[in-house]
Amino acid sequence: MYARRIPLQPIGTVHGGLVCTLADTVIGCAVHSLLEAGVAYTSIDLTVNYLRPVTADGTKLLATGTVTKPGRRVAFATAEIVDASGKVVATGTGSVLIMDLRLPQ
């Protein structure tokens, strides 16, 4: 049996790095959904605002990423993370570098 270990702060709340990773993931996925096959991306910057503590009590989180500016070389997106009761626990903004990895025709 696999025991999941959630990274906790000494005070018992979920480590902010976990929430930050979730924000970075949905920002990247939002941008990725607009790219053609063979076009990649990587994060340039990320800002996360923590609004409420997240506890390790089994409460589910819902993270949503939204592209605010889909550029050719750099795209901008936001993240919103809410808990099971619908309260926003964190928001984020980020920019993503667009890299065309397709071979020239």
Q: Is the pLDDT of residue 1 over 60?
A: no
Cα distances from 2 to residues 5, 8, 37, in angstroms, run 9, 18, 35
Q: What is the mean pLDDT of residues 46-53?
A: 97
Task: Please count the other Cβ atoms lying within 10 Å of the Cβ belonging to residue 9.
Answer: 10
* CA-closest candidate to residue 62, choices 89, 88, 81, 39: 81
Q: State the Cα–Cα distance between residues 59 and 39, nearest whole angstrom.
A: 35
Task: List pLDDT tens digits, range 14-45.
Answer: 888 999 999 999 999 999 999 999 999 999 99
DSSP, collapsed to helix, strand or coil, labels residue 61 as: strand
Q: How confident is the model at residue 3 (pLDDT cuts 50, 70, 90)?
A: very low
Task: List pLDDT tens digits, range 55-95.
Answer: 888 889 999 999 999 999 999 999 999 999 999 999 999 99
Q: What is the mean pLDDT of residues 8-14?
A: 81
The answer to whether 29 and 21 are in contact (CB under 8 A) is: no
| pTM of the complete model | 0.89
Q: What is the pLDDT of residue 41?
A: 96
